[in-house]
Amino acid sequence: MRRGIGVGAIKKEKLHQEKYRGKGNQIQENQLEQMSKQMEVFKTNLEDFATKHKNEIRKNPEFRKQFQEMCSSIGVDPLSSGKGFWSILGIGDFYYELAVQIVEVCLATTAKNGGLISLDELRTKLIKARGQSKSHQEISKDDLIRAAKKLRIFGSGFNVIPMGKDRYMVQSVPGELSMDHSIILQQAEKNTAHVSISYICKELNWENERCQKALEHMVDQGLAWIDSQDPQEIQYYFPSLYTACINSNA
């Protein structure tokens, strides 16, 4: 008959487990300490880099984008750092100023586009509004996206909607757009800014009810207009896509 494990053996095994656990915790603490030290070194080097290339960061959009990506890789957000070293660069001020200008353009065009504007059109209008003064920094699509994302603190009123292939729409009215709505916008963009229920059903293999529900929501939100003059079927037009479609066909 096999004898059971004795109390002494159990205590010995427990002691081994505690010893291994303690050693594991110590290793983890050492690793965290090393990582913290490395992060401090990275941040110091990043500050040195930023000081050396301050003018390039402020004036060159592509260089600014790469710098932002470097910051993100180590968890630094110069946009939210209004004090200390990062305030010297003025990057945060640049994006906050840009965000205010985005709001101004969106509000001025809401009556025409229903609160939805392409990023390209927004950039064109902003460049025109800012003028050609040398005191103004050049703005890129990446700058606009970063600035627009800062506006999310105001709720769902501002949102950046990916349209595929480096194309974006900026929504400036309250209300969430689902994936269905985004897909319909993409289809409308390919079809000279308008769609119909039968068109969507054919292109996307959707049920009639799904198409109608999505389009009616976009009409209610002011993002689409109804054209009932077509003898065949009601057409849904998206004013926010007119400019993009005209430019692509020019």
Q: Which two tokens stand for residue 211?
A: 């198409």
pLDDT at 223: 87
CB neighbours of residue 40 within 10 Å: 10
CA distance 162 to 160: 7
DSSP string across 84-121: SHHHHHTHHHHHHHHHHHHHHHHHHHHHHHTTEEEHHH
CA distance 175 to 173: 6
Which amino acid makes up residue 197?
Answer: I
pLDDT at 1: 46
pLDDT at 134: 45
**Tens digit of pLDDT for each residue in 97-111?**
888 888 889 888 888
Q: 119: closest CA among 246, 27, 208, 243?
A: 243
**Tens digit of pLDDT for each residue in 180-203?**
998 999 999 889 899 999 999 999
Could you tell me the CA-to-CA distances from 11 to 6, 8, 171 in Å, in that order?
9, 5, 65
Residue 43, CB half-sphere, CA atoms under 13 Å: how many?
13
CA distance 91 to 97: 10
Query: Which domains, and CATH codes, for the chain?
Result: 7-77 (no CATH), 95-249 (1.10.10.10)
CA distance 93 to 207: 48
CA distance 237 to 132: 34
DSSP string across 191-223: TTTEE-HHHHHHHH---HHHHHHHHHHHHHTTS
pLDDT at 87: 56
Is the separation of the CB atoms in 58 and 138 below 8 Å? no
Could you tell me the CA-to-CA distances from 241 to 52, 112, 144, 222 in Å, in that order?
42, 11, 18, 13
pLDDT at 94: 77
pLDDT at 137: 66
> Which residues of the chain register pLDDT less than 50?
1, 84, 133-134, 250
